[in-house]
Amino acid sequence: MDDNSFSQLLDRLGLSWQGYAKVRKGVNKRIGRHMQELGLPTMDDYLRALADPDILKKVERLMSVSISHFFRDQNLWRTLEEEIIPDITAGHSEKIHAWSAGCALGQEAYSLAIKWDMLKKKRSALPELRILATDINPDHIDKAMAGIYGRSSLKGLSDEIKSVYFHTCQDQKDRCVADYLKKYVTWKVHNLMKEPPPARRFQIIFLRNSLFTYYRRECTSSVFLNVLDRLDDGGFFIIGRHERLPSQTHTLSPFKRSSYIFQKTYTPARILHRYN
């Protein structure tokens, strides 16, 4: 598939050429195979076929990207441990809810679970954590739930984390996430662009390197506001280091002058509740 044909598909789906620059080759191959399976030789034929809701859903999933790794952006995870978690737990003593939106193969959700579990061993009073991890691609969700990763995926993790939270799988090649760590996470197939956000409030929302990278800004503003509506007052909204919010909102403020970590403004009623 040439660049012009791929650009036509991106236009049809509201996706960003820049966002797909580094992953275009792999995505291109998936789309090419799908076109062959359907017997559609040209992009014009393929675009017309997208009128079929089932084909469109398949294509949207084929366009999803699973690139990620454990504890991506070390500065974020230090800030999370030293400042964000203490701030959140100061106002919530029983249970904390986090949402990893666009979770890909689950490394982000498991990283948060590992960080929380390590802190809980040091601070016995740390509240219970529940993580909802969602992705548009059911294959990604299935792999994340299985929690099986190649040894190269664990590169950069400390020996402590490797020994405590992973074990050798039956094939003796891959590493499996410890079963008790999986209990932190609930997995769900979810199309962020077309489905309403989960019907609950979260104290942390991760929306990193997904929506704001791969979709055009004009397509994400309303989705962003819907997601933000699910963030609790005082909660934290985290995007990718190189991403930008699609629109400005008075309800979010940069956390410690960060360009990608934000805290939701407290309403007057919540301020009184927090400090009384």
In tens, the pLDDT along 35-62 reads 999 999 999 999 999 999 999 999 999 9
User: Is the confidence at residue 73, as pLDDT, over 60?
Assistant: yes
Give the model's pLDDT for residue 228. Answer: 96
pLDDT digit string, tens, across residues 167-206? 999 888 899 999 999 999 999 999 999 999 999 999 999 9
List the chain domain ranges. 3-62, 74-275
Classify 231 as helix, strand or coil. strand
Residue 208 CA to residue 109 CA, distance in Å, equals 12
What pLDDT does residue 124 have? 72
Distance CA 119, CA 89 (A): 12
195-252 tens-digit pLDDT: 999 999 999 999 999 999 999 999 999 999 999 999 999 999 999 999 999 988 899 9
φ and ψ at 248, to 5 degrees?
-85, 150
Give the tens place of pLDDT for each residue, 111-120.
999 999 999 9
- Match 């909102």 to its residue by tokens: 249
What are residue 235's phi and psi, to 5 degrees?
-75, 170
Average pLDDT over all residues of the chain: 93
Q: What percent of the chain has pLDDT over 90?
A: 87
26 membership: H or E segment, kind and range: helix 24-38
pLDDT-above-70 percentage for the chain: 96
Pick the CATH number of 74-275 from 1.20.1330.10, 3.30.2290.10, 3.40.50.150, 3.10.105.10: 3.40.50.150
- Predicted model pTM: 0.93
Confidence label for 273 from pLDDT (cuts 50, 70 and 90): very low
- pLDDT confidence of 274, banded at 50, 70, 90? very low
pLDDT at 172: 81
What local confidence, expressed as pLDDT, does residue 275 receive?
A: 42
Query: Which are the contacts of 93, defined by CB distance < 8 A and separation ≥ 6?
Result: 125, 127
Tell me the backbone φ, ψ of residue 27, rounded to 5 degrees: -65, -40
